[in-house]
Structure 1
């Protein structure tokens, strides 16, 4: 971050003061690097109205991990759709923008339209990792377990494991294997490309992906060795020692809870102050109650966040960690019918096939 701030300061010193396009482009990155994502988002949105094809600036607000995706606002999925929809006409036959808009369609439930646009993107660039990634999301939302696992597994065979998306795509492969009942393949994928030390992904992806697959495996009845949670708890403490990135914080809290580190868990529950810090606090407390098998208390804490989980960030597939934790708690309390009804109401695509111990 120090080097990045030095670079943007140098850019500001060199900028042409009479060139508004150049100034606002740099100002967006400056606001981001100075820790003001709301200002950065405002600058980007204003900038692309006049300069929609400045992709380097425009991309800051695309994707579920962008400034809109991590805004912590209710309705951010619809906002992301409106943003990419406005940009799409300026990027005619551009595989990158097609894939970005296709994800926006997917996250707002327009699965058929998403898949159609994604196919066009991949036809132009079959080795587009974003396209392959977002196609996996569309297949997940459509419930295409076998097709999704086959497609992404084949696509990954020639994907360089040093690439930044390799670890996250490996998470998708591991998740497909879990859904398909192939525990051996799931662990093999986790150990070869998801967990710390095996992935070149950004720390936020390593943490969130590993935590999610481990707990979703536990929900499915898979035995997860305690040392895996301890390893991940240490990783979370190393890379996210302070709160502020809400999506990372809920996963770090899960790791600390499952590893039995009450002090680190309490720190997150007490200090969470990110874009959805008010939701992180009850989620962290819920993880603590779940780890102690105090299901009724866990249910109370989770109930505080279920109405607005989109504020936590991430994709629908990633937020299914919270959805399935809630269903699992209901099952543990003996409320089987309510658990099934909840899943059908909130995530019908998961209601028939998702592995939750005792659900089917």
Structure 2
């Protein structure tokens, strides 16, 4: 493609797209996003550059860029331009990830007023309800609009994942498992899409952290994950791969995965190679330590990278699984300072989301531990 792009009939605009894709294919996602932004400065209505940049920022945990990239071009669009409405859903997600919840809700409902089947805008509202602890509102919204978004192949599974989270938060585990069985499992089993598989692993792990036995459900997700053990495209995905290995009781595969990850760090290139070295590998080691009941080691590892985990990508809601892992490890650690840390982390969590029944349940466990 690079060679073809040097043909005289290829425009500079087209060449830049080829260059961006080439950088992305080598793992240099930041370099690719810079090229797409260069394109957008000249052609703000290039939806391909806009969407690719938006997704890349998401993969890198670059939340301000997700918001700002859309805000820079939106005034140069209008309702007569095809796909105009989708920009509001994209803006909404960027706003939500930067804790601009009221602005995000406004943008998302603007998108849905123009196109009620915009699953990305629906997904932004899911995030707002999750982060604000509005489980009932989230449940009611998804139930009311299900026929609008359930046919969206890319995001339907993820929106069902959000729906299940509301139930887990409220302790309605049977309802969450029902959503998994009826809506999530059939989708990830047939789509093979990484987001769908990640959603499945994430949901099962959250249920198990809550004490729900999901041992009979891991095998299928592991079998779909297994061909991707050596991919190492995103550290976010890698963390869920090792979760699935361990959940399905395939510890040998988990060890093989860690060896593959170390080889990638040594011989690979690109943004995720650096992220894996600094954060991703340690995160995976913490997950393994927790599984091996080395809870104090898991706490120490997670605390050392806690504020860097954002660099693995994903949303605030998706990465919350690692906050929950840290809290559970601290509660189970034999060290009293870790038990005290668990209380502090729960105070912090409560301050960010007041209506949080899960936090209340975890706090009850923390208060039952004698730490004086």
1:305 match: secondary structure:
helix
2:37 matched to 1:45? yes
Aligned partners of 1:331 and 1:359 also within 8 Å? no
Residue among 244, 252, 256 paired with 2:241: 252
1:256 match: secondary structure:
helix
1:90 — aligned with what?
76
Task: Tell me how far apart the structure 1 counterparts of residues 231 and 30 of structure 2 sit (CA, whole Å).
Answer: 20
**1:13 Cα shift?**
7.5
1:236 — aligned with what?
225
Q: Which has the higher helix share?
A: 2
Q: State the superposition RMSD in angstroms.
A: 2.6
**1:32 Cα shift?**
3.0
TM-score with structure 1 setting the length: 0.86
Aligned partners of 1:232 and 1:255 also within 8 Å? yes
Residue among 335, 338, 341 paired with 1:338: 341
Aligned partners of 1:81 and 1:101 also within 8 Å? yes
Report how many residues are paired.
345
When structure 1 is superposed on structure 2, of 106-115 and 334-343 the one drifting more is: 334-343
2:58 — aligned with what?
69
Q: CA 1:288 to 1:48, structure 2 compared with 1: closer, same or farther past 3 Å? A: same
Aligned partners of 2:122 and 2:149 also within 8 Å? no
Q: What is the 5 A alignment of 1:1-360?
A: 12=5, 16-17=9-10, 19-33=11-25, 35-62=27-54, 66-71=55-60, 76-93=62-79, 94-161=84-151, 163-195=153-185, 201=191, 203-224=193-214, 226-272=215-261, 273=265, 274-275=272-273, 276-278=275-277, 279-333=279-333, 337-345=340-348, 348-350=351-353, 352-355=355-358, 358-360=362-364
2:221 match: secondary structure:
helix
Aligned partners of 2:74 and 2:87 also within 8 Å? yes
**1:34 Cα shift?**
5.2
Q: Could you report, residue by residue, the CA deviation over 1:39-82 in whole angstroms, capped at 9, with x for unpaired residues?
A: 322211111111111001211011xxx2122236xxx2123222
Task: Tell me how far apart the structure 2 counterparts of residues 207 and 271 of structure 1 sit (CA, whole Å).
Answer: 20
Q: CA 1:117 to 1:136, structure 2 compared with 1: closer, same or farther past 3 Å? A: same
Aligned partners of 1:32 and 1:40 also within 8 Å? yes
Structure 2 segments unaligned to the other structure (5+ residues): 266-271, 365-372
TM-score with structure 2 setting the length: 0.84
Structure 1 segments unaligned to the other structure (5+ residues): 1-7
Aligned partners of 2:230 and 2:257 also within 8 Å? no
2:67 match: secondary structure:
helix
When structure 1 is superposed on structure 2, of 141-150 and 264-273 the one drifting more is: 264-273
**1:354 Cα shift?**
4.5
**1:110 Cα shift?**
0.9
Task: Tell me how far apart the structure 1 counterparts of residues 56 and 8 of structure 2 sit (CA, whole Å).
Answer: 24
**1:155 Cα shift?**
1.6
